[in-house]
Structure 1
């Protein structure tokens, strides 16, 4: 059962927001990056989630950055929480979502006693389609311009297929063509560009900057194309939606 609200303001340890919680905490669990700017962008996203949603929102990382989920869970327990919803900040059901995330949740639960409910990933559904559309609108990309949707990529073919499907659905909404390419698997950007015209808007399916976006930045500089920023703060409503859905499904109050 969820515990009482803390009697004091929760600290900002482990990337937490400074708002008073109104229910189970929210932990945004990201992959992690060696790029400090990427870590800070995730922290900023969770700060926005916390302030806009009125929830104690914290960050945790699977790898390459700190804190890990067990550290964040311990900070929540110290702040008076007994339950939290972990929202994996992932767009596809690949190895991290199916193996790393459940393992991290099990370890954090065993180490701290925090009741953890795992939400769905961000995914590539209708709300993520709205998210990438909002990114194009924010950058004022003309509707007739072609778009390259750039994702990390996976050894899991189904995960990559989900990104291609997202690109196809976005393609049906725009006069300009939309194609997907990946940073770590085929098809790579060079293989997809012949299908697109000039100019191309480069749209990362990333929440934060990182090393994998550097080749895309170099391409933008070389061609004079628009490189859209990572989705970042635009994803705050989606993260809050996953938190609310998990609370409703689990009965957490």
Structure 2
């Protein structure tokens, strides 16, 4: 079984030389009772602002933290804005993207009929495509966890009952495994099996000796804490931190915004927020 080693230095992602006038961008996070989650979203807001100076960027949450997206969008309308772009900070297009986000937008349109809102794709895979920036962010966090050489990987996600959403997590795991050239398993913190401990045990039974866990989370909180504890109890060598404000994630947010502005192509290719040639790369030896 081949051993992966994340060793090359991280190159920073350059900010655009000049910003262009743009509609306000509202990031919409899931929300959590854990204050670390809201702090992570605010950190991502700052990272997006830094990557695209001059673009108004703000945050909202679907639950537990104010403002909610309806309130935040109405505030923009009251302030005189005519349009806004909403970016769901979600890694799968499950219930929150299919139900909660459209409901929030519908409420704004009913209250402010002259205010236009456009919604981007989620940050996770769009169809069969896994954005290179998402993989680069996951690899960055693995480097920071200092795993050394490893011969298998678990991608630990929050969990969902939506089979299509689980399929998108599987596509991320497969793409990450191909890049690192190691076997990979998916685990879930809730709603679906297997647990991270079971995934680690399965890989060990298949012959892996040094297993690391890549956390497929945008922010810290109860789920990431549980994954970290379960992975350590199962003997995993390292667990990465959530993606939070990784520069690649900020670039991915802007790629989603730019893809929406570009028109019908939803793949994020026409107007990349950060040139892929300049994006961070972390290569496996």
Report TM bin, short chain: 0.7 to 0.9
Name the counterpart of 1:24.
23
3-state SS in 2 of match to 1:109: helix
Cα deviation, 1:184-228, whole Å, max 9, x if unaligned, reads 111222321123234322211111111111212223554473221
Which shifted more, 166-175 or 231-240?
166-175
SS at match of 2:239: coil
Larger mean CA deviation between 218-227 and 157-166 belongs to 218-227
2:258 aligned partner: 244
Distance 1:138 1:237 in 2: 19
C-alpha distance in structure 2 between counterparts of 1:236 and 1:38, whole Å: 16
Q: How does 1:65-80 map to 2 (within 5 A)?
A: 65-80=65-80
Provide the secondary structure at the position in 1 that maps to 2:153.
Answer: strand
Structure 2 partner of 1:86: 86
Q: Is the 8 A contact 1:180 1:192 kept in 2?
A: yes
Q: CA deviation at 1:243?
A: 1.0
Partner of 1:122: 123
In 1, distance between residues paired with 2:116 and 2:256? 17
State the match for 2:282 in structure 1.
none
Q: Return the TM-score normalized by structure 1.
A: 0.83
Query: How far, CA to CA, are the matches of 1:219 and 1:198 in structure 2?
Result: 17
Q: Which residue of structure 1 aligns with residue 154 of structure 2?
A: 148
The number of equivalent residue pairs is 231
**Which stretch shows the higher mean deviation, 144-153 or 88-97?**
144-153
Greater helix proportion: 1
Q: Does 1:227 align with 2:239?
A: yes
SS in 2 for 1:231: coil
Secondary structure of the residue aligned to 1:34 is coil
- Cα contact 2:197–2:230 (8 A) shared by 1: no
| Deviation (angstroms), 1:138 | 4.1
Structure 1 counterpart of 2:32: 33
1-structure distance, mates of 2:224, 2:112: 36
**Counterpart in the other structure of 1:187:** 194
> CA 1:166–1:195 in structure 2 vs 1: closer, same or farther (change >3 Å)?
same
Match of 2:224 in 1: 213
Contact 1:143 1:174 in 2 (8 A): no
| Preserved contact between residue 150 and residue 210 of structure 2 (Cα < 8 Å) | no
Taking only aligned residues, the RMSD between alpha carbons, in angstroms, comes to: 2.1
Q: Distance in 2 between matches of 1:21 and 1:174?
A: 37
Secondary structure of the 1:120 match is: coil
Higher relative contact order (CA 8 A, sep 6+): 2
Give CA-to-partner distance per residue, 1:5-60, whole Å, 9 cap, x none: xxxxxxxxxxxxxxx98210111111111111101111110121123212111111
Deviations 1:78-103 (A, max 9, x none): 44321111011111121111111111
Once residues 151 and 66 of structure 2 are traced to their aligned partners in structure 1, the CA distance between those partners, rounded to angstroms, is 39
